[in-house]
Amino acid sequence: MGCGAMMKSVMEVLLLLMLIFTAHAKEKSYSPPEKPTQTRCRSPEKETFTCWWEPGSDGGLPTTYALYYCKENSETVYECPDYHTAGENSCFFNKNDTSIWVNYNISVVATNALGRAFSDPVDIDVVYIVEPNPPEKLTVAVMEDKGWPFLLVSWEPPHKADTRSGWITLIYELRVRLEEEDDWEMHHAGQQKMFNIFSLRSGGKYLVEVRCKPDHGFWSEWSSTSYVNVPDYFHREKSMWILVALFSAFIFLILTWLLHMNSHSLKHCILPPVPGPKIKGFDKQLLKNGNSDEIFSALVVPNFPPASTSKYEEMLVEYLEVYVPEEPELMLESKDLLDGCLKSENSRSDSDSGRGSCDSHTLLMDKCGGTKEEERQTNRESSLMETQGWKEEAINHDTSGRVKTWPSVYSPLPQYGSNPLDKQSSLETAKQHSLSTSSFLTQPGTEDALGPSYTDFCLSNKQNHLHPQMLAHRELQTRSDVNISNIGRKRSPASEYVEVQRVNKEDMVLLQPVVSRCGHIEGCPNLPKGEDYSKVKGVDCDNRLLLQREGTGEDVCPCVDQETNGEGGNCYTSSTVSTTQKPTACMYTAMPLQGETALTLNGYVDSATMGNMPSC
Amino acid sequence: MPGTIRSVSLVSVVLLVCLSSRRTSVGAAPICTNGQVGCHVLSLDNLFDRVIQHSARMHGISSDLHSEFEQYFLPSKNQIGRVGRICHTSTIITPNGKENAQRMAREQLTEVILKLLIAWRDPLWHFHQSMAHHHDFNNFSSNKALEMNDMVHELRQGVEKVAEKMQVLGIISNSVTSLASPEVLLPSDSADWRLMKDYDLLYCFRRDSNKVQNYLKILKCRIVPDHGC
């Protein structure tokens, strides 16, 4: 018979006895006890164990509970040796009664006067019911590793569990949290009895707990909490980042505000408005409609471009009539000049932008020059008056916009041997540069051929690009009574110069426009390809221009000093240089005439001495 | 591009070979006899650790199989026959408590371990065979049974090595008879295990593997303490 059968027989005997007892009991609504239930059995160190049960209702009568067990393959039924050590409704098995790797069959019996109740038997092996006590002596210390804190946690196994002999092997687990948090952070520590917690996020009060488990068994309860205060290492970092964030937010706000203020101009900058077509006669609606024929027919301007070439020829100035009035003042009307000059503002050297030679600094009529010009002119005038006694053509800046120029007539001399292009020196071939529709020649006070009289022709070239440097002017000595009348004021917008074709019998200089080619600014500008230039020696009594065949003596080339006002002088270039340069092709801004030096100029009227010279 | 891929794969293969060879060299280092040069000699505590790990793994597999059996093949709790379960190794006297185990001599303890391991060699093999034939169990259980069988073999060899080492070191005397003739240790009524049902067999083996693991730990902490005891 097995252990269970034995127990049952014992129970039956007891039951009989109880029935005999209760036969004389009072008649009440009592009942036998309910079946107790065995809750659990646990061993803390694999050497002893305890079993607990849960009693059912006692049926109104005092009920006693008994625990009986028998071991594996043994018939002997034993009763619980100790009902009290482990508390109420428990049975404690001490070391002597505990056998490991032995199967226990345990039952609990509830007995009262009316009956008994058996619990369900439970088979246990102590090895598999081990639930140790929590670890002990938990210590937490704050350590520092390169400025960052960490927790060093250490503990000891429960004192009852014998790990030293190897009887039990425990593995540990610990958990950490901040005092104000709810979630624990778990760490598995294995078999070691100390652990480093590096995952600290901030300072404050930390709670640490640890528990253990045998390799086959149940987890222990959490140990008592250990508190530790971690100082605020992290505060500095956080505050710095807060500052950085605030600063960047501030900058961002400022930028947004600026953007908002300048939104309009930014819009124009980034997304410039698409210019619409501004063609006269161009109908946008037509374009949208898509009929191209209608559109382009609207654009057609009759009689444009001019079909006949004769028109072009008409624009050529064949000759100019120049007469020299008595008054020193010359008025030169040129609306175009005005326009050109007005357009050029204070431009001195560069005239690539379509401004005429009017904007050249040499032009006395340069209204845009302003007071500087006037000063220069006055200086010049005074100096000239002093030294030369020449009459100068006063330049009046008409406030109404009229511009007067110093007309200057130059004729190139054929002399320039280095110039391979042309050596023609005849009057017929001599070409004269002049710009203007009309020009007036001043009457010099002296009869001297060197009297400064010049005609400066300023041709409006609002349509053309005029390089000031390209203008090469020659001084021409003219007589006072040279009349050059401008016949047929014709503008030649395409060219700056008017070439002197010939001088006819009536003492008329026939001019022909020529494309201006000028030399450079500095030094002695060359007559550009000026093969057709000849130097005018003088004007004889018959009002004829005497042109020199060859350059004589020293060729003085007045240097250009564009920015100087009262300075300057004639400089003497080397002969080699001079041969290559047309002495008359010089640019001046303002040069006070130095007495005889000007007179030494061969055949040149130093227009610069008289005032601004038109420069290319 | 293909050239680089080829070179990369070649390099990786070479690396893998090197690493694996290194690993295997460490793992399969033979226990050298004295005087052998160039041999990687394992210390006793290292041997013990390996053996203990091995036994822990064996016990884990047996526990898994046992719980699987309980799910598939749950014996009714009211079976009378279940009470009469007797493990065939019950004839081997094993200490049933800490004091008993600590009181036992090292040689005796070593011998008990070896006896247990030897006693389970044949039953496990047969168990594996029966598992393979019965299609009630899935391949997972069958593989575990095979693994269990192999592990018993290996563990026994390991424990023998440990015993040899201990004898060499003079820790235990040469009275361990199991090393000489293992068949002596077989229980006399060894045929009883054939009557055991599979479930009981697993139950018994689970317990015995736990015993082996525990005895080895006790031995280790007694012989080479301060290494995780």
pLDDT digit string (tens) for A482-521?
444 444 444 444 455 555 556 666 666 555 555 444 444 4
Chain A residue with CA closest to B226: the answer is A164
Two tokens, residue A318: 């064949």
d(CA A283, CA A277): 9
pLDDT at B177: 59
- Across the interface, of A95, A101, A169, the residue whose CB is closest to B211 is A101
Percent of chain A past pLDDT 90, that is, above it, reads 22
CB B37 within 8 A of CB B24: no
d(CA A564, CA A590): 7
pLDDT at A140: 94
B84 Cβ under 8 Å from any chain A Cβ? yes
**To the nearest whole angstrom, how far is the Cα of B195 from the nearest Cα of chain A?**
17
Q: Which of A27-31, A106-110, B45-49 comes out lowest in average pLDDT?
A: A27-31
- How high is the mean pLDDT in each 10-residue block of chain B (229 residues)? 71 64 52 60 86 93 88 59 69 90 90 91 86 71 86 92 87 68 56 72 92 93 82
- Across the interface, of A4, A99, A163, the residue whose CB is closest to B229 is A163
A159/B5: higher pLDDT = A159
DSSP-derived pairing of the beta strands A90-93 and A49-54: antiparallel
pLDDT band at residue A420 under the 50/70/90 scheme: very low
CB A611 within 8 A of CB A590: yes
B226 Cβ under 8 Å from any chain A Cβ? no
Residue A585's nearest CA partner among A546, A539, A532 is A532
pLDDT digit string (tens) for A75-90?
889 999 899 998 899 9
Residue A42's nearest CA partner among A108, A132, A163 is A132
Buried b (16+ CB within 10 A) or exposed e, A163-183: beebbbbbebbbbbbbeeeee
pLDDT at A580: 43
Q: Which ipTM did the prediction report?
A: 0.78
Q: CB-based contacts of A257: which residues, under 8 Å, 6+ apart?
A: none
Query: Omega before A513 cis (within 30°)?
Result: no
pLDDT at A42: 93
* Cα B121-A127-B183 angle, rounded to 5 deg: 20
- What is B165-184 written as a DSSP string? HHHHHTSS-S--GGGT-GGG
A47 Cβ under 8 Å from any chain B Cβ? yes
pLDDT at A310: 56
Residue to mutate among A107, A156, A215, with most B CBs inside 10 A, is: A215
pLDDT at A56: 84
d(CA B96, CA A192): 28
Question: Hey, which residues does A111 pair with through a beta bridge?
Answer: A64, A116
A4 Cβ under 8 Å from any chain B Cβ? yes
B90 Cβ under 8 Å from any chain A Cβ? yes
- Record the pTM: 0.51
Buried b (16+ CB within 10 A) or exposed e, B43-57: ebbebbbebbebbbb
pLDDT at A67: 92
A96 Cβ under 8 Å from any chain B Cβ? no
Say if the Cβ atoms of B96 and A101 lie within 8 Å.
yes
* Enclosing H/E stretch for B145: helix B139-169
CB A579 within 8 A of CB A551: yes
Question: Hey, which residues does A116 pair with through a beta bridge?
Answer: A111
A77 Cβ under 8 Å from any chain B Cβ? no
Computed over every residue of chain A, the mean pLDDT equals 66
Say if the Cβ atoms of B207 and A125 lie within 8 Å.
yes
Which of A1-5, A176-180, B90-94, B197-201 has the largest mean confidence?
A176-180
pLDDT at A246: 94
Cα separations in angstroms, B6 against B1, B10, B13, B16? 9, 6, 10, 15
Q: Does A183 score more than 70 pLDDT?
A: yes
Say if the Cβ atoms of B207 and A4 lie within 8 Å.
no
- Across the interface, of B214, B219, B229, the residue whose CB is closest to A164 is B229
pLDDT at A74: 83
What's the maximum distance between 2 C-alpha atoms anywhere in chain B? 74
> DSSP assignment, residue A275?
P
Residue A557's nearest CA partner among A578, A538, A536, A532 is A578
Question: Hey, which residues does A439 pair with through a beta bridge?
Answer: A322
**To the nearest whole angstrom, how far is the Cα of A245 from the nearest Cα of chain B?**
46
pLDDT digit string (tens) for A353-401?
445 444 445 544 444 444 444 445 444 444 444 444 444 444 444 444 3
Q: At what angle do helices B44-72 and B198-223 cross, to 10 degrees?
A: 160
Neighbours of A248 (CB within 10 A): 10
Say if the Cβ atoms of B217 and A167 lie within 8 Å.
yes
pLDDT at A449: 42
- Residue A238 dihedral angles phi and psi, to the nearest 5°: -65, -45
B188 Cβ under 8 Å from any chain A Cβ? no
**To the nearest whole angstrom, how far is the Cα of B184 from the nearest Cα of chain A?**
25
pLDDT at A522: 44
- Across the interface, of A95, A165, A216, the residue whose CB is closest to B221 is A165
pLDDT at A389: 41
**To the nearest whole angstrom, how far is the Cα of B50 from the nearest Cα of chain A?**
15
